[in-house]
Amino acid sequence: MKRDDTTASSVGRRAYLKYGALLGGGLLAGCTGNASESGSNTTTGDAASTTAATTEAETETSESQSESGSYSVSMEPVGEVTFESVPETWVANNGSWADMGIALGLEPPKGVWLTNRYHTQYYDEIDGVSVDKSDMVSLYQDGVSKELFYELDADVHVIDPNFLLNRFKGWEQADVDEIAEQVGPFFGNCIYAQHYPWHEDYRYYTLYEGFEKLAQVFQRTDRYEAFATLHEEFQSNVESVVPGESERPSVAVLWGVGDEPEEFYPYIVGEGTGFKHLTDLGVKDALANSDVKDFHGSRAAIDLETVLEVDPEVLMLRGYESKSREEFQSTVVESLKNHETASALTAVENGDVYRAGGLYQGPITNLVLTQRTAKQLYGVEESLYDGKRVADIVAGEF
């Protein structure tokens, strides 16, 4: 890969990069197996910024611009990326980053890993914010085609390149280098979960740390700062409605297999943006002290008999965000009520079976999911955030 100061293509606005070391190779790691890849079933302590010293240093790097207007932003694992001008088109790894872009007032990304896991219906909860993903492309289509990156011709790829190298068999470091040189740079970190073995050698970013980096790339730090302030107020409101630990129900987070699930992938609540709404609400994890192994480590499903042994007070099921509440109740919940074993679960008997929220959360979708989950678990009725203020920030009116 060339490391000089030439642009990555002949397009005048194309960003170019100076890479730090890219971490290649490693184990093949998946989310929920082949079925979920096809889309068939389909942090706590999150700070608004890093320490003052780190933020100051990074700000100096990201905001220093040459006379030609170029600027640099640094993020692990790609290191420092230099842009000739502000990117106009982009591709995102998943809904976490896509939602950050929407929060910054950007046009939606041209592609994400799986479009059916970018749940744009969450925006329906906020008047004045909507996203049309009808023209959005899934990067994963029984594999990821390098040619697709050329077709999308994005100015920047907000993707941890190690995700491409390790998530499935097909890409090599040379492929990453080629796309970075010939199309546009990579800039991203796999922040939605913290379980990939290939991510142990470089740092994770919280939702708002990643959000700040993306704001620097698109030179929209004013919107980031407005969201960071809103988030601090939101966190205070959330803390005020979380009951004492002894009053919180035990919760099992599972990925249901099919609309009449008899097998489940167990998720131990942990760090990462995919668990932020649960950790911020202090969810009491029923699986954490059981013999059940986290899916990320075991890659194994559990049956209803095992769920009954744990017998959580609340079941929160992933994999059903594309269904409305009513559709979820009439299919998944109804099947559990009619099942000999499932019907004996305390959560099923008491009507405490809910959708758990998507894997990918950005600043807007996290607000929506935290509000929804607070109502499900703790009966919270009051609004924990100001939707109009969210819409105003997205529109640049603040």
Q: What is the mean pLDDT of residues 348-364?
A: 97
Least confident of 13-17, 113-117, 208-212, 385-389: 13-17
Q: Which of the four pLDDT bands, split at 50, 70 and 90, describes residue 140?
A: very high
Give the chain's count of helices (H) and strands (E). 16, 12
More confident residue, 277 or 8: 277
3-state secondary structure of 6: coil
The two three-digit tokens of residue 254, written as one number: 């599972």
Q: Which of 12, 21, 182 is nearest to 87 (CA)?
A: 12
- pTM for the model: 0.84
Complete domains list, the chain, with CATH: 33-220 (3.40.50.1980), 236-394 (3.40.50.1980)
Share of the chain above pLDDT 90, in %: 75
Q: Say how far apart CA 280 and CA 237 lie, in whole Å.
A: 11
- C-alpha dist (Å) from residue 285 to 265, 271, 344, 368, 377: 15, 13, 20, 21, 12
List b or e across 233-245, with b for residues whose CB sees 16 or more CB atoms inside 10 angstroms.
ebbebbeebbeee
What per-residue confidence (pLDDT) applies to 297? 64
3-state secondary structure 190-237: CCCCCCCHHHCCCCCCCHHHHHHHHHHHCCCHHHHHHHHHHHHHHHHH
pLDDT at position 196, please?
83
Least reliable range by pLDDT among 120-129, 162-171, 243-252, 360-369? 162-171
Q: Is 221 left (phi over 0), alpha (psi -120 to 50) or beta?
A: alpha
% of the chain exceeding 70 in pLDDT: 82
- Environment class of residue 4 by beta-carbon count within 10 Å: exposed (0-12), middle (13-18) or buried (19+)? exposed
Report pLDDT digits (tens) over 76-111: 999 999 999 999 999 999 999 999 999 999 999 999
Q: What is the pLDDT of residue 19?
A: 41
| Mean pLDDT on 115-123 | 96
**Neighbouring C-beta atoms of residue 308, cutoff 10 Å:** 15
Scanning the structure block, which residue is given the tokens 């932003």?
A: 73
User: In the predicted model, is pLDDT for residue 283 greater than 50?
Assistant: yes
First to last CA, the chain: 42
Average pLDDT score, the chain: 86
pLDDT score at 42: 34
